[in-house]
Amino acid sequence: MASGTGMLNQRLCEWDRELITALDVSLESLPEITAPGRMFSGLRYEYALRWPQLTGAYFFPAIGDGAANSIGSGCVGLNKIALMIGTSGATRVTFEGTPPDELASELWCYRADRSRILIGGALSDGGGLYAWLKNSLTLDDHASIELALAELEPDSHGLTVLPFWAGERSTGWSTSARAQSWE
């Protein structure tokens, strides 16, 4: 999760002291960056009083939804790409190693943990686009249409749409890009 803030030195896996100094953020105000597999037990006294039923609970450090999605789906390694469609959509490659020295401006890179890197890109429209289409097209028989669509091979209809209704999302992409289609 520290990696997603942009304040982590991804090579050293520690807070980037030069950057946090430039941002006037105190190192003491940032959380500890934990070691792999570390878990925490119990609550601090003031929280144990508030939530006594959680006093003996174990807590694990947070992991980002993108990292969890990639690892949980088994898409780990340079030969696999994870695609996640939610409100937005993202593709990620997760692999063991170090961050690349250079990265295309359209992509981002962060760490899943001390040994795994995620490189990917995202679109602002995914499931939100699907919901908008269902509501806007006011089709009477959603179930039949969805079944018919599920039986199609990807791109077998000959029309491909890049749904940039709200612009692109990843670093360096155009916020004014709009939907395109090709035949």
Residue 93 lies in a domain: no
89, part of any domain: no
Kindly report, residue by residue over 33-57, the tens digit of the pLDDT.
887 677 777 788 999 999 999 988 8
Report d(CA 143, CA 89) in Å as an integer: 23
Share of the chain above pLDDT 90, in %: 28
Range of the domain at 158: 127-182
Residue 137 is assigned to a structural domain of this protein? yes
Q: Is residue 16 part of a domain?
A: no
The answer to whether residue 167 sits within a structural domain is yes
Does residue 140 lie within any of the structural domains? yes
27 belongs to a structural domain: no
- Residue 32: the pLDDT is 84
Using the predicted structure, report yes or no on whether residue 167 has a pLDDT greater than 70: no
Number of domains, the chain = 1
pTM (two decimals): 0.66
Give the residue from 92, 95, 69 showing the smallest Cα distance to 81. Answer: 92
Average pLDDT over residues 129-143: 74
Q: Taking a C-beta distance cutoff of 8 angstroms, is the pair 62, 39 a contact?
A: no
CA-closest candidate to residue 11, choices 115, 161, 90:
115
